Amino acid sequence: MIPISEALEIIRRETFSLDAETIDLENSVGRVLAENIEADMDLPPFDRSQMDGFAVKTADTSKLPASLKIIGESVAGKGFDRKMKTGEAVRIMTGARLPDGADAVQKVELTKEKNGFVEILEAVKTAQNINRQASEITKGAQVFSQGEIINEQMIAALASFGYAKLKVFRQPKIAILSTGSEIVEIGEAPQKDQIRNSNSMMLKIFAKNAGAEAEILPQVHDDFETLKQKIAAAVGLDSGLKNSEIRNPKSKILIITGGVSVGDYDFTKPALRELGAEIFFEKVSLKPGKPTVFARLNDVLIFGLPGNPVSVAVTFFLFVRPAILQMQSAKNCKPKKGYAVCSDKIKGAKERDSFLPVSLSTNEKGSLMIESLRFSGSSNFIAFAHADALVFVPQGKNLAKNDVAEILFL
Ligand code: AMP
Ligand code: MG
């Protein structure tokens, strides 16, 4: 049994990174930037009015009421191109360019218009109601850097600097293989002794959200020969396989769920061994997730995760997600860490570190509180549906009410 930190180090060491490709901005959310993003223009590109009103010279409003001659207008998309002189004003709309010679805008509510003149009812200060050129960003400045994961909030910035297409790192391809003679497809009605396959779809979604392209393989029964065949096919060892999509196994991860413990029908490890896989570890000091396996076969990284859906979720999050992000050269591959206060006691495990799913809430004192989920065991994925984070309980310890605990945000 190895500590979690060592398992992570091994995964980091064995994981390769992929090259870059160019994609449309529209499809970029969740992908990892393979280039630095620069502002190709000042923003705002000119001194810009924040209000509908009149562009004026501050000095002209020192004596009130000031009556100024309206000499034209500046609208968004078409500014006023002559220079404004003393005693003049230009009607201006929100977002329009400030005319030369003007140094402030008075909003329309504080003006009165009559016979081609405008009366300014309140004095203005220099730069009032103006966004200065380049006050948001200067041309050439770096906006985002290589390795950042693109999120929805970044799209407007990328669009405004002309990144209709952009360079991102290629997506790892992930194949998901669930094992278990008791497992039937989601659309099927389980018969006696059967349950539905909840792992494959969950993993597909997790993998996609981590930036991978995920594919669910047909699930396999607990049969040694079949499992061996299916693993061989999934890693591209079976050349006779017609529907093999493994053209570039280097971009691949295979996740197998179930069959990694020591039961009579747990064939994942024996199958991997017989196929000649290099097994890097097969037991981690982690609850849930002790029998997690990490191996490589034909250049495909293989994660064997324990079958319980909650164990699958926890081990995916701790081990597989960082590998997926590393393959895409993401800057932050590790889960986001934080601290929160226990609302109640949380029991750890004697011989293993625990990462237990919990929900989070805030209280009126502004503290982030940990609410434990009522687990009846690591198979309780109904409780897991409400999880926001994993709480860390060190080996041999328990957490007491009001203890501050380390959490990983899901
Ligand atoms: P195993 O790791 O194969 O011993 O499985 C541990 C537990 O997880 C058993 O109760 C299995 O029935 C359950 N399990 C395994 N695979 C799946 C799956 N794909 N979906 C839902 N439950 C599963
Ligand atoms: Mg099983």
Residues of the chain with CATH 2.40.340.10: 337-409
Which whole number is the average pLDDT over 188-201? 97
Q: Which atom of ligand 1 has the smallest separation from the CA of 219?
A: 19
Which whole number is the average pLDDT over 172-186? 97
Which CATH number does 20-43+148-169 carry? 3.90.105.10
Residues of the chain with CATH 3.90.105.10: 20-43+148-169
346 CA from centroid of ligand 1 (Å): 25
311 CA from centroid of ligand 1 (Å): 10
pLDDT tens string 158-168: 999 999 999 99
Which ligand sits closest to the CA of 193? 1
Mean pLDDT (the chain) is 94
pLDDT value, residue 354: 97
Q: Which atom of ligand 1 has the smallest separation from the CA of 182?
A: 12
Which residue from 199, 220, 224, 260 has its CB within 8 A of the most atoms of ligand 1, so it is best to mutate?
A: 199
pLDDT tens string 294-328: 999 998 999 999 999 999 999 999 999 999 999 99
Whether the per-residue pLDDT at 242 is higher than 90: the answer is: no
pLDDT value, residue 109: 97
Question: Hey, which CATH number is domain 337-409, 2.40.340.10, 2.60.40.1150, 2.40.50.140, 3.10.20.30?
Answer: 2.40.340.10
Report residue 236's pLDDT band, with 50, 70 and 90 as the boundaries: confident
289 CA from centroid of ligand 1 (Å): 12
pLDDT tens string 367-407: 999 998 876 555 588 889 999 999 999 999 999 999 999 99
Which residue from 257, 260, 381 has its CB within 8 A of the most atoms of ligand 1, so it is best to mutate?
A: 257
- % of the chain surpassing 70 pLDDT: 95
pLDDT tens string 40-93: 999 999 999 999 999 999 999 999 889 999 999 999 999 999 999 999 999 999
pLDDT value, residue 250: 54
Range 4-17+170-327: architecture per CATH? 3-Layer(aba) Sandwich (3.40)
Query: Is domain 48-131 given the CATH code 3.40.50.300 in the classification?
Result: no
pLDDT tens string 243-254: 444 445 556 999
Residues of the chain with CATH 2.170.190.11: 48-131
Pocket of ligand 1 (CB under 6 A): 178, 180, 182-183, 195, 197-199, 257-261, 263, 306-309, 379
Whether the per-residue pLDDT at 241 is higher than 50: the answer is: no
pLDDT value, residue 382: 87
Residues of the chain with CATH 3.40.980.10: 4-17+170-327
Which ligand sits closest to the CA of 223? 2
- % of the chain surpassing 90 pLDDT: 92
Whether the per-residue pLDDT at 240 is higher than 80: the answer is: no
Taken in order 209, 212, 213, 217, the sign of the CA dihedral is negative
9 CA from centroid of ligand 2 (Å): 28
Q: Which atom of ligand 1 has the smallest separation from the CA of 178?
A: 19
Residue having the nearest C-alpha atom to atom 5 of ligand 1 = 307
pLDDT value, residue 246: 46
pLDDT value, residue 244: 46
